[in-house]
Amino acid sequence: MLAAQRRDLLLERLKTEGRIVAKDLAAELGISEDSIRRDLRELADAGLCQRVYGGALPVSPATADYATRMAVSVAGKERIAKRAAALIHLGSTVILDGGTTALALAKALPVDLEATIVTHSPTVAAALVTHPKVEVFLIGGRLFKHSAVTCGAAAAEAAEGINADLFFLGVTGVHPETGLTTGDSDEAAMKRTLAKRAADTYVLASSEKIGAASPFTVLPLSDVAGVITDAAPDEPTVKELGKLGVSVLGVSPSWPAREAAASDA
């Protein structure tokens, strides 16, 4: 098999099986494991997979630029936003992450909501200007343009003074093996800092992030109260998350009402 044919096969396996184990595929094809690893390095360099120990996982489409992501999974993000908004109670203090799903959540909040919202996203803060009863605190720092959020030492120091009821976390990858990941180390560190300042953390994960992975770990799945997603209940990663005891709050129309409610238990 030619190298180009192997790479096409690797991409097809990532699409259909959601992962590649280099040792197993090498044995199947009757070639060296080094050859498979070399192919995976080339695919990773081209942004077509995310290498992990022993193989590779699908790369997250959420690593695209902010403007591009605004047009991805719009309806799904709106359903996620509506479900997340229902978790916010009168008088609560909530940390909103940045990114396009968090922005959808900000827009989905009731206009008459009385709450305190803390965010390190200027776009999320601006979306709350029309909410007269929402107190908005914007964390300053270096602007990370990919997600339109602030991060760095100044932002982390400001976050240390926050005590919140909820944190709605955005990530670029949700996978049973790698946990919750994102594409920038500083942004990952900022997300961890914010998670430490809230009693409960919920992940906002549109379907293209489910089963994908990015280079930098944010949190293990065991550290969050739940994952809110529009992925279908029979999606392999969703089923695996359930087996691991992760609470999945499904908002896809294919989730039976009783299953969606049970996921909150």
Task: Tell me, letter by letter, the H, E, C secondary structure of the chain.
Answer: CCHHHHHHHHHHHHHHHCCEEHHHHHHHHCCCHHHHHHHHHHHHHCCCCEEECCEEECECHHHCCHHHHCCCCHHHHHHHHHHHHCCCCCCCEEEECCCHHHHHHHHHCCCCCCEEEEECCHHHHHHCCCCCCEEEEECCCEEECCCCEEECHHHHHHHCCCCEEEEEEECCEEECCCEEEECCHHHHHHHHHHHHCEEEEEEEECHHHECCECCEEEECHHHCCEEEECCCCCCHHHHHHHHCCCCEEECCCCCCHHHHHHCCC
Q: CATH code at 215?
A: 3.40.50.1360
Q: Is the pLDDT of residue 61 over 50?
A: yes
In tens, the pLDDT along 190-238 reads: 999 999 999 999 999 999 899 988 889 999 999 999 999 999 999 989 9
In tens, the pLDDT along 121-151 reads: 999 999 999 999 999 999 999 998 888 899 9
Output DSSP code: residue 224. Answer: S
In the chain, % of residues over pLDDT 70: 91
Tokens 């009783």 locate to: 258
User: In this structure, are 53 and 97 located in the same domain?
Assistant: no
Q: Is the pLDDT of residue 60 over 80?
A: no
Band the pLDDT of 168: cuts 50, 70, 90. Answer: very high
> Residues with Cβ < 8 Å from 100, sequence gap 6 or more?
66, 69, 70, 72, 77
**Total structural domains in the chain?**
2
User: In this structure, are 46 and 115 located in the same domain?
Assistant: no
What average pLDDT score do residues 60-69 get?
Answer: 62
User: In this structure, are 181 and 54 located in the same domain?
Assistant: no
Tell whether 265 is covered by a domain: no
Tell whether 205 is covered by a domain: yes
Taking the mean position of all CA atoms in its chain, how far away is CA 14?
19
In tens, the pLDDT along 227-256 reads: 999 999 999 899 999 999 999 999 977 776
What average pLDDT score do residues 24-37 get?
Answer: 86
Q: Is the pLDDT of residue 258 over 50?
A: no
Tell whether 261 is covered by a domain: no
In tens, the pLDDT along 19-30 reads: 888 888 888 888
User: In this structure, are 210 and 126 located in the same domain?
Assistant: yes
User: In this structure, are 96 and 155 located in the same domain?
Assistant: yes
- Domain hosting 34: range is 3-59
Q: CATH code at 41?
A: 1.10.10.10
What average pLDDT score do residues 36-47 get?
Answer: 85
User: In this structure, are 70 and 185 located in the same domain?
Assistant: yes
User: In this structure, are 39 and 140 located in the same domain?
Assistant: no
- Highest-confidence range of 3-12, 44-53, 224-233, by mean pLDDT? 224-233
User: In this structure, are 103 and 35 located in the same domain?
Assistant: no
pLDDT score for 262: 45
> Residues with Cβ < 8 Å from 151, sequence gap 6 or more?
120, 141, 142, 144, 186, 187, 189, 190
User: In this structure, are 54 and 142 located in the same domain?
Assistant: no
Tell whether 256 is covered by a domain: no
Tell whether 96 is covered by a domain: yes
Tell whether 183 is covered by a domain: yes
User: In this structure, are 104 and 158 located in the same domain?
Assistant: yes
pLDDT score for 250: 92
User: In this structure, are 155 and 46 located in the same domain?
Assistant: no
Q: Which of 59, 85, 100 corresponds to the end of one domain?
A: 59
What average pLDDT score do residues 173-184 get?
Answer: 92
Tell whether 112 is covered by a domain: yes
pLDDT score for 159: 95
pLDDT score for 166: 98
pLDDT score for 265: 44
Nearest CA to 76 out of 163, 205, 181, 194 is that of 205
User: In this structure, are 142 and 18 located in the same domain?
Assistant: no
Identify any residues that bridge with 220 across adjacent strands, giving them in sequence order: none
Least confident of 3-17, 114-128, 158-172: 3-17
Q: Is the pLDDT of residue 263 over 60?
A: no
